[in-house]
Amino acid sequence: MRFSVTKNTSLFRYQLDRSKLFEGSWPIKDGVSVNAYLVRGSEKTVLIDYVEEGASFDEELKEMGLTVDDIDILVLNHMEPDHTGGLRDFFARRPDIPVYCTKVASLEVLSLYGKKDAHVIKPMEELELGGATLVFVPAPNVHWPDTMVTYYKEEGILFSCDAFGSFGETESVYDTELSEAEKKLLETETERYYANIVAPFSSFVLKAIDSLKALDIKMICPSHGIIYKGDVARIVSWYSRLASYAQGPQEKEITLLLSSMYGNTKSMADALSERAEARGVKVHVVRIPDDGFSVLLEKAWRSAALVVAAPTYERNMFPEAVYAMDLLCRKGVKGRKSMHFGSSLWSGGAAAEYRALAEKMGLDVVDAIDYRGAGSEADREKILAAFDKILEELN
């Protein structure tokens, strides 16, 4: 679909298939858009980013009385195939089109699509289109090392690529048009997107935001999600806060990673949730694997404490809980206050594996407790005592 953003700027919006996993990993049951942008000067027409394999923007161009032959320059902010997969066909039709990108991206566009001689941008290089000037600002590791953002000087528009993006499909194009339901959707889908996609690169996010302070940004046009023009500062501040969780402090909340085969671990977890609620502390209970690793990442990223409730399974911790902790570690969820408890029957072993994983994550471990079967009253009191220490830390 095509939308007019300004007199000479258009949004080309494509919705990914909700039945597929984003990056082969993350559910998108509420959808996600892929956004590309066309900027027309009096002398040159530029397409910023593209779309996945099997898709094109031919219809959007046709609406404007254009074809791919009318595009003078292709700007590639980022080479991930959700933005570039369709380039194989595009380059077959326009093998001669100049491509502007970073040095890393020039190597990727060659290895992925055979496109040679891309123009490697210099930091803050300007491209004159005739009454419109594009400025290229490297933003490495937000979230790939090839990334840059493009600034339209005269209009104050930042084409930010994956930065300031989100999951979630909305009918509204702009932040100023969102319904209450769409606002609620984006509250979670923006944070889930950040935790799933961008979180490990948070230090680079903060550097990139700092480097953009010199620009007069009136509008942010990301490659996923809505366009921000009503309150640009809000999404920048939001991303800054999300990035700050990497080093802390995080929100005074608890994520409870729950895996339970027959209810003996869950019954103890329920008691902890009730205790936290009584003391006014928010607990995000995420059942693994049922609720999904994507949601776990979202909640754990923002939480100052991680409680792992997982039983012993064949002398080790429940396999999906092990994978969950490994994934949290890979995504940068580290240094949280933490504890473990879980039911076993004949051997135990979950607590020991938890401690090994917790050490790798740099967690501040209060206790790790294996108990037999449904657990005794003494087990219950020991678990609650450890949990109380976490609650005290958060208050």
pLDDT digits (tens, 9 = 90+) for 259-281: 999 999 999 999 999 999 999 99
Average pLDDT, the chain: 97
Cβ atoms of residues 344 and 372 within 8 Å: yes
pLDDT of residue 203: 97
Runs of H (alpha helix) within the chain: 58-63, 81-84, 87-93, 103-113, 180-193, 202-211, 232-244, 264-278, 293-302, 319-330, 350-361, 377-394
Q: Is the dihedral of CA 194, 173, 140, 105 positive or negative?
A: positive
Mean pLDDT of 181-197: 97
The 3-class SS string of 344-374 reads ECCCCCHHHHHHHHHHHHCCEEEEEEEEECC
pLDDT of residue 247: 96
Rounded to whole angstroms, the Cα distance separating 330 from 328 reads 6
Query: What residues form DSSP beta bridges with 74?
Result: 47, 99
Q: How far is CA 105 from CA 5, 92, 101, 116, 207, in A?
A: 27, 19, 6, 11, 20
Structure tokens of 4? 């007019």
Mean pLDDT of 193-198: 98
Mean pLDDT of 167-192: 97
Q: What are phi and psi of 39, to 5 degrees?
A: -120, 125
Instruction: With a cut of 90, say whether residue 213 has pLDDT above it.
Output: yes
Structure tokens of 370? 């294996």
Domain boundary assignment for the chain: 2-244, 254-389
**CATH topology classification for 2-244:** Metallo-beta-lactamase; Chain A (3.60.15)
DSSP single-letter state for residue 120: E
Cβ atoms of residues 196 and 26 within 8 Å: yes
| pLDDT per position as a tens digit, 59-98 | 999 999 999 999 999 999 999 999 999 999 999 999 999 9
Residue range 254-389, CATH number: 3.40.50.360
This prediction's pTM:
0.96
Q: Is the dihedral of CA 75, 78, 81, 83 positive or negative?
A: negative
Instruction: With a cut of 90, say whether residue 223 has pLDDT above it.
Output: yes
Q: Is the dihedral of CA 74, 77, 79, 85 positive or negative?
A: negative
pLDDT-derived band at 392 (thresholds 50, 70, 90) equals very high
| pLDDT per position as a tens digit, 328-382 | 999 999 999 999 999 999 889 999 999 999 999 999 999 999 999 999 999 999 9
Cβ atoms of residues 149 and 163 within 8 Å: yes
pLDDT of residue 66: 97
Cβ atoms of residues 226 and 166 within 8 Å: yes
Asked, colleague to colleague, whether 2-244 and 254-389 share their fold, the answer is no
Cβ atoms of residues 44 and 38 within 8 Å: no
| pLDDT per position as a tens digit, 100-149 | 999 999 999 999 999 999 999 999 999 999 999 999 999 999 999 999 99
Mean pLDDT of 23-33: 97
In the three-class reduction of DSSP (H, G, I as helix; E, B as strand; rest coil), residue 275 is classed as: helix
pLDDT-derived band at 395 (thresholds 50, 70, 90) equals confident
Instruction: With a cut of 90, say whether residue 1 has pLDDT above it.
Output: yes
Instruction: With a cut of 90, say whether residue 310 has pLDDT above it.
Output: yes
